[in-house]
């Protein structure tokens, strides 16, 4: 109890600065949780870890508590390290199996080389034996005066030559049989190596595609965007055909998250992503750049035509019947466009499109602005 004469101190009310700081911290916490949660979706996990990952992902996507996020980060790190370690182990095992099969094939080739050398030696031995028999027979013909003795000698030499030829044929037949078996074994091992290599290639391609796709919207992600942008930039440098970059941002998206929760925000992102991708041409490319921001590449398209395309998308999105908790919710986006011109690199064009986006935001939102043009009503 306060002593007499002492002023009773009351707890100070939080000033606007501290309230704003707390709000920013919560916003950052939610964003960190969202990023960590989505990170889990990019990793190929073992079946035994999937249930834990789902629980962790749900907790992170709905968390605004720093302690929970710290624990979640540790959990994500454990799962990611385990997944990377497993992938590394699997690849090392594949390399070991491949090395074993290649060693087996090398052994088969060595055996074939030895068999070839044996065949050559056997042929040379047969040739020597026949020559020796013929030489001995010739000497006996010269020295023999008895026809019966000569006749017997001829028969004996012919029998020796016939035996040598028969032994050679038997050995050759055995070698041919072994060769056929070894060739069949080699063919089977080669087929196994090819099949396994093809399977591993398909798995790596699938993992690669998964790594290039945003889990929430199923659109290409930022890494995929960088690859496609580099490709289109190279084409533009070669042919100098029009190439336009667009940066889109959902208007007042934070208000949706704050009013209806992150699940509602995620649903908006999914619906907008689907609507945008369905209205693009096959030559165009769209990706989720991060948060509520999307990026679009429009090859063979000058910015004026690109603006018409995006205005059509914008009007379509604005007309969609979004409802949350029984209430209609207006969803619009703003966009900035920039065209590649001589001397540009990828970053410069993106920066111009991004600045045009913020100009569209500052000009009232729900509009598309081309870099370098004056704001126009949407």
Q: What is the pLDDT of residues 113-165, one digit of tens each?
A: 676 667 677 777 776 777 776 667 666 666 665 666 666 766 676 677 767 77
- What tokens does 328 get? 């209609």
Q: What is the pLDDT of residues 290-311, one digit of tens each?
A: 889 999 999 999 999 999 999 9
Element (DSSP H or E) covering residue 322? strand 322-324
Does 236 score more than 90 pLDDT? yes
What is the domain partition of the chain in residue ranges? 16-211, 222-370
Torsion region of 203: left, alpha or beta (phi above 0 gives left; psi -120 to 50 gives alpha): alpha
Give pLDDT, residue 10. 42
Give pLDDT, residue 377. 47
Q: With cut-offs at 50, 70 and 90, classify the pLDDT of residue 3.
A: very low
Q: What is the pLDDT of residues 319-346, one digit of tens each?
A: 999 998 888 999 999 999 999 999 999 9
Q: What ranges in the chain are assigned the alpha helix state H?
A: 16-41, 47-61, 66-143, 147-211, 222-239, 253-260, 262-278, 303-319, 346-362
Is 345 in contact with 329 (CB distance < 8 Å)? no
Q: Which of 103-107, 166-170, 198-202 shows the lowest mean pLDDT across its residues?
A: 103-107
Q: At what angle do helices 66-143 and 16-41 cross, to 10 degrees?
A: 20
Active site residues: 292
Q: Is the pTM of this model over 0.85?
A: no
Class of domain 222-370 as given by CATH? alpha beta
Q: With cut-offs at 50, 70 and 90, classify the pLDDT of residue 179.
A: confident
């Amino acid at each position: 109890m306060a002593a007499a004469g002492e002023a009773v101190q009351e707890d100070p009310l939080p000033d606007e600065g501290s309230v704003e700081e707390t709000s920013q911290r919560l916003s950052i916490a939610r964003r960190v949780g969202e990023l960590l949660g989505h990170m889990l979706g990019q990793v190929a996990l073992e079946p035994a870890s999937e249930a834990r990952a789902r629980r962790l992902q749900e907790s992170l996507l709905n968390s605004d508590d720093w302690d929970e996020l710290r624990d979640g980060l540790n959990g994500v790190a454990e799962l990611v390290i385990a997944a990377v370690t497993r992938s590394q182990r699997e690849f090392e095992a594949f390399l070991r199996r491949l090395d074993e099969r290649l060693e087996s094939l090398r052994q088969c080739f060595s055996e074939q080389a030895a068999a070839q050398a044996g065949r050559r030696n056997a042929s040379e031995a047969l040739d020597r034996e026949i020559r020796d028999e013929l030489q001995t027979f010739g000497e006996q013909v010269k020295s023999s005066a008895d026809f019966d003795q000569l006749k017997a000698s001829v028969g004996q030499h012919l029998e020796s030559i016939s035996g040598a030829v028969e032994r050679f044929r038997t050995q050759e037949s055995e070698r041919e049989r072994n060769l056929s078996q070894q060739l069949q074994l080699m063919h089977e091992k080669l087929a196994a190596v090819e099949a396994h290599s093809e399977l591993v290639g398909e798995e790596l391609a699938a993992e690669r595609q998964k790594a290039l796709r945003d889990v929430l919207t199923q659109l290409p992600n930022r890494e995929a965007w960088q690859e496609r942008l580099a490709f289109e930039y190279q084409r533009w440098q070669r042919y100098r055909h029009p190439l336009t970059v667009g940066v889109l941002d959902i208007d007042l998206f934070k208000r949706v998250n704050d009013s209806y929760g992150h699940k509602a925000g995620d649903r908006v992102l999914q619906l907008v992503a689907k609507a945008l991708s369905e209205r693009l041409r096959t030559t165009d490319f769209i990706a989720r750049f991060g948060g509520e921001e999307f990026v679009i590449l429009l090859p063979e398209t000058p910015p004026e035509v690109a603006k018409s395309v995006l205005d059509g998308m914008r009007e379509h999105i604005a007309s969609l019947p979004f409802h949350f908790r029984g209430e209609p919710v207006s969803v619009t986006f703003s966009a900035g466009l920039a065209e590649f011109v001589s001397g540009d690199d990828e970053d410069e064009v993106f920066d111009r499109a991004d600045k045009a986006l913020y100009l569209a935001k500052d000009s009232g939102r729900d509009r598309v602005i081309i870099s370098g043009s004056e704001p126009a009503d949407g």
